[in-house]
Amino acid sequence: MTALAAVLALAACTSDEPEVPAAEEAAGPPFDILAFCAAPAAVEAAPEYVPGGENVTQFLLGETAWGNSFGPEVDPPEYPYPGVWTEQDPALVVCSEYVEPPEETDCGAYGEVGTDPLQGGWVYVTLQSHHVAARIYEARTGALLEERTVEASTECPEEVDTTNAFVGGTTEVESAVAESREVWALFADYVNYAGH
């Protein structure tokens, strides 16, 4: 071995560069659900969606994201709610947002029958129902599988507190909002979590 070859060999052995396992080199960036829902596209590293099987799923409602996970170390609640997350890449992605503007229902006046609204004690109520439009995608292909809607209640309240109503009547806006658990339930047939 020549002196130059010996020096090069020694330099290779004493390099400060840490050895990176092949698996780490191959690993891509973590799944970004905000970016996916903004522009759905195929995610090559995503696991295969198995119809009828347990499918890891990530959900997005507005800008609130959550997910489910499967395995013996996981003891999930009744449904995956915002705050529960999974480090696993999803097979399915649910993108959803509140429909704007909300549906409005004129619920009329609430007060004590026989009293004069000009003397106070009456409330005029408008109900705003915030529905959710949702789409479920297969992550590996980016294909849209189905679109569904979560309907918020459109039923006017049975009673309204009129204690602080102004003379001449007070106008109030009540809200009915579709919840994240309803988005989860809407696609439970795709996710197929064991026991649900």
Q: CB atoms < 10 A from the CB of 5, how many?
A: 9
| Predicted local confidence at residue 11, as pLDDT | 47
Which residue is it, tokens 């918020």?
152
51 strand-pairing partners: none
The pLDDT, as a whole number, for residue 155 is 94
Calculate the average pLDDT of the chain. 76
CA 112 centroid distance within chain: 42
CB 147 within 8 Å of CB 101: no
Give yes or no for residue 158 having a pLDDT over 80: yes
| Closest to 61 measured CA to CA, from 132, 139, 141 | 132
Question: What is the bridge-based pairing of β-strands 143-150 and 132-138?
Answer: antiparallel
Model-level pTM?
Answer: 0.70
pLDDT at 118 over 90: no
Which pLDDT band, with edges at 50, 70 and 90, does 125 fall under?
Answer: very high
Helices in 27-141 by DSSP H: which ranges?
A: 33-38
**pLDDT(54) > 70:** yes
